Amino acid sequence: MRVYESDNIRNIAIVGHGAAGKTTLTSAMLFDSGAVSRLGRVEDGNTVTDWEDEEIERKITISTGVAHCEWNKKKINILDTPGYRPFLTETKLALRVADAALVVIDSVAGVEVQTEKVWEFCDEFGLPRIIILNKMDRDNASFERALESVAEVFGRAPVPIQIPLGAEKDFAGVVSILNQRAYRYEKDHSGKFQEIEIPAEYRDEAARAREKLVEMVAEGSDELMEKFFSEGTLEGPDLLAGLRGSVRQRNLVPVLCASASLNIAIAQILDAIVEFVPSPAQIGKVQGIHPQSKEPIERKVSVQE
């Protein structure tokens, strides 16, 4: 078994309201990374993380499922958590040991009750977050409405780093605001895509989204703000580094979009996890209780401790 240094590990909990697509997203991540050879489906009862008989029968997650994969030479440990209220104790326990959270939101329904609850858990544990607007292929899916719902509930910290290529049955991929490229996917569940120039009809929207992203990242430090005022923008390396820092300091929350069921835009989610989720070594000290003395103690994440 390969041993990974702490810097090359990402520990994430996938959270959200029930039926937002967390287990389906987990399955797609495992498939696209090569961790499994078959794309599991909740409907077929063959996902890696929903393996208990009751979960398979009811087609919901009842207890936290554990999985891992490798992406860009980083090990991603995944906690696939329940989303319905009776089982949220499991979710809270998973978040306690995670280093970041992927908050999955149904792009048709928007922010739901348990979405808000798991967000509160993330606040309690001081976790960085990435939002995934899932089910972009569904009837009545709307990136804009979902973003409005997110902003209404969670404020201005969530900021899109993608826009969708198409919507509902025409959803075919994403445009990256960071590198100004588009990714058009096959509709055969393979996860295969082509990197292309941004189609003309999306260029204005992408430019507006990048302008907003640059402004919000620039607010993250005096150095970036000074560069923004002097140069009028932030170029690629500065923008990426600034966004990474703002995410890890919990000032900004990147928003991505996908269709986990069609296996569209999952590779970009894996990229975002590797890029923005802090490694255990970057977390700093962790507080806990000594098992014998019951006194509060601190430990730094390192091989020495």
Predicted pLDDT at 178: 97
Q: Where are the domains of the chain?
A: 6-198+252-282
Q: What is the pTM of this model?
A: 0.96
Token pair, residue 54, equals 């009751």
Rounded average pLDDT over 75-81: 99
144 contacts 205 by C-beta, under 8 angstroms: no
Dump pLDDT digits (tens) for 48-67: 999 999 999 999 999 999 99
Predicted pLDDT at 1: 65
pLDDT of 267 higher than 70: yes
Distances (CA, A) of 242 to 176, 180, 231, 238: 16, 17, 15, 6
Lowest mean pLDDT among 36-40, 44-48, 219-223, 299-303: 299-303
Torsion sign (Cα): 205, 278, 154, 102? positive
Architecture of the structural domain at 6-198+252-282: 3-Layer(aba) Sandwich (3.40)
pLDDT of 285 higher than 80: no
The percent of residues in the chain predicted with pLDDT above 90, rounded, is 90
Predicted pLDDT at 289: 83
pLDDT of 284 higher than 90: no
Predicted pLDDT at 302: 67
Predicted pLDDT at 304: 64
Q: What is the mean pLDDT of the chain?
A: 96
Which residue type occupies 79?
L
C-alpha dihedral (215, 245, 121, 82), degrees to nearest 10: 100
- Residue located via tokens 């620039």: 218
- Give the model's confidence band at 305: pLDDT under 50 very low, under 70 low, under 90 confident, else very high: low
Rounded average pLDDT over 188-204: 98
- Residue located via tokens 């588009």: 182
pLDDT of 133 higher than 90: yes
The percent of residues in the chain predicted with pLDDT above 70, rounded, is 98
Token pair, residue 99, equals 């280093």
Predicted pLDDT at 303: 62
Dump pLDDT digits (tens) for 149-182: 999 999 999 999 999 999 999 999 999 999 999 9
pLDDT of 301 higher than 90: no
Could you give phi then psi for residue 27, rounded to 5 degrees? Answer: -60, -40
Length of the chain counted residue by residue: 305
Those residues with Cβ within 8 angstroms of residue 123's Cβ, 6 or more apart along the chain or in another chain? none
| Dist CA 178 CA 74 (whole Å) | 21
